[in-house]
């Protein structure tokens, strides 16, 4: 038995979908442990494209169990729509291959509205959220006033829980000059869909324990990236959950001893969606080239991603914080046309050299990257499946990255296609 956690080592959008799909083919169980339907994973299987937002990537494969853990926040209407959408493409979804933790918290319409209200009021100080209600739902969870899936079982209990959470939200809405949110229609809407949601509901921690006893291989699927972690990311421009590998245990109800290997997905350059510090960002023709060749637009929001050079300092920091054992390097082929390629190896802050990202936003915005420059390879690497077939300059760059981040590169992706991967080490077979 080998259980693997997959996390993004940058600001998300590292190409996790392709890697997770490849791993899910070998796994018995795939589990989402944090985030919501703000993080998209694109899978291409037998010529069919699946754009998943909330469902675990294992759902598109036969004879796999897919689980949404307690650490995920669930928009019930978005979930049912995604199930309907994927069923229309021939994917089987029922209570035998899909389940949701009864403890998962629900994203409700007033959460989405609060997300929009806050972003609009923030002006230049906006975070750049996806406006899907993720943050406000996590706030209610921590504030102990949220609605959980288990609350849908009892109309009386649901009524009381809605009174509690709306007392809080309506006080804020009044203060911001917005209409209060009425409870009755929402309660009717929730009770209407409750049977469809509750049929998938289970004590997931217990199911995972049973699966572990049966020696099933479990893949824990992270969303976003470590640099968006609410504790360890570029705060406050972060998501509202812990995206580090350790949260795979907390967000599913299994112990940390359930994790045998942590795989970090890492782009050969860097991208970021939304606001916040980005030390190696390129606002020039090279940045535009990376965005164009890498098709850097969000799966869920279609927002254009900011692009920049590979930041070795940040990736190395993510590796140490999340206990990453190996790196899957993606989108190497995007760099094929460049005359030279740069990697950030230090920062300069107020005239001093530092080798980590400072914690304060003020310093994060002031730091200047110190680069090491490599000669480009100026030839196509697209579709290469053997590391020996790579151009020498590409191998030099990869070796330098591996040495700097102090972690083994276990695979290299040379196109969006799943087969176009240079496999150096299979985490399931170590």
What is the C-alpha to C-alpha distance for residues 56 and 171, in angstroms, rounded to an integer?
36
Give the burial string for 276-285 (b: 16+ CB within 10 Å, else e). bbbbbbbeee
Parallel, antiparallel, or unpaired: how do β-strands 306-308 and 201-202 relate?
A: unpaired
The single residue listed with the structure tokens 């038995």 is 1
**Is 41 among the catalytic positions?**
yes
What is the C-alpha to C-alpha distance for residues 117 and 126, in angstroms, rounded to an integer?
11
Q: How many residues does the chain have?
A: 430
296: Cβ–Cβ under 8 A, 6 or more apart, which residues?
A: 13, 271, 290, 304, 305, 307
What is the C-alpha to C-alpha distance for residues 253 and 201, in angstroms, rounded to an integer?
15
Q: Are 67 and 207 in contact (CB under 8 A)?
A: yes
What is the C-alpha to C-alpha distance for residues 284 and 275, in angstroms, rounded to an integer?
18
Beta bridge partners of 165: none
260 token code pair: 């045998």
Kindly tell me the number of DSSP H helices and DSSP E strands found in the chain. 12, 20
Backbone angles phi, psi at 76, to 5 degrees: -65, -35
What is the C-alpha to C-alpha distance for residues 161 and 169, in angstroms, rounded to an integer?
13
Helices (H), 40-133: 76-87, 109-122
CA angle 349, 126, 245 (to 5 degrees): 70
Per the residue annotation, which of 41, 111, 169, 232 is the catalytic one?
41
What is the C-alpha to C-alpha distance for residues 357 and 355, in angstroms, rounded to an integer?
7
185: Cβ–Cβ under 8 A, 6 or more apart, which residues?
A: none
Q: Are 141 and 34 in contact (CB under 8 A)?
A: no
DSSP H or E run through 423: strand 421-423
**Any idea which residues carry the catalytic annotation?**
13, 41
């Amino acid at each position: 038995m080998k259980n693997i956690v997959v996390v993004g080592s940058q600001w998300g959008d590292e190409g996790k979908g392709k890697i997770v799909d490849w791993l899910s083919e070998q796994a018995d169980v795939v589990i989402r442990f944090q985030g919501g339907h703000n993080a998209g994973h694109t899978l291409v299987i037998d010529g069919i494209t699946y754009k998943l937002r909330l469902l675990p990537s294992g759902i598109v494969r036969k004879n796999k169990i897919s689980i949404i853990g307690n650490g995920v926040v669930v928009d019930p209407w978005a979930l049912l729509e995604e199930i309907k959408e994927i069923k229309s493409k021939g994917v089987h979804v029922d209570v035998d291959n899909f389940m949701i933790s009864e403890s998962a918290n629900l994203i409700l319409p007033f959460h989405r509205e609060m997300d929009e209200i806050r972003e609009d009021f923030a002006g230049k100080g906006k975070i750049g959220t996806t406006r899907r209600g993720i943050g406000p739902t996590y706030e209610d969870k921590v504030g102990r006033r949220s609605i959980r899936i288990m609350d849908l079982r009892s109309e009386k209990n649901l009524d009381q829980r809605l009174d509690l959470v709306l007392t809080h939200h309506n006080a804020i809405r009044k203060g911001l000059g917005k209409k209060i949110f009425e409870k009755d229609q929402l309660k009717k809407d929730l009770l209407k869909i409750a049977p469809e949601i509750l049929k998938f509901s289970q004590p997931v921690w217990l199911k995972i324990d049973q699966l572990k006893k049966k020696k099933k291989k479990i893949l824990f699927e992270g969303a976003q990236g470590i640099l968006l972690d609410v504790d360890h990311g570029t705060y406050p421009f972060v998501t509202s959950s812990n995206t580090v590998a350790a949260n795979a245990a907390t967000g599913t109800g299994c112990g940390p001893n359930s994790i045998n290997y942590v795989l970090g997905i890492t782009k050969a350059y860097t991208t970021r969606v939304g606001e916040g510090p980005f030390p190696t960002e390129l606002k020039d023709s090279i940045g535009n080239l990376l965005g164009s060749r890498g098709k850097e637009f969000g799966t869920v929001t279609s927002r254009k991603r900011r692009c920049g050079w590979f930041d070795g300092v940040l990736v190395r920091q993510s590796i140490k914080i999340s206990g990453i054992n190996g790196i899957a390097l993606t989108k190497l082929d995007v760099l094929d046309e460049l005359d030279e390629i740069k990697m950030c190896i230090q920062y300069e802050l107020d005239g001093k050299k530092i080798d980590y990202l400072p914690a304060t936003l003020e310093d994060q915005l002031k730091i200047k990257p110190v680069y090491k420059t490599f000669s480009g390879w100026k030839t196509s690497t697209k579709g290469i499946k053997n590391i020996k077939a790579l151009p020498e300059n590409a191998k030099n760059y990869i070796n330098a990255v591996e040495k700097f981040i102090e972690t083994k590169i276990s695979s290299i992706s040379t196109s969006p296609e799943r087969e176009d991967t240079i496999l150096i080490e299979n985490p399931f077979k170590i």
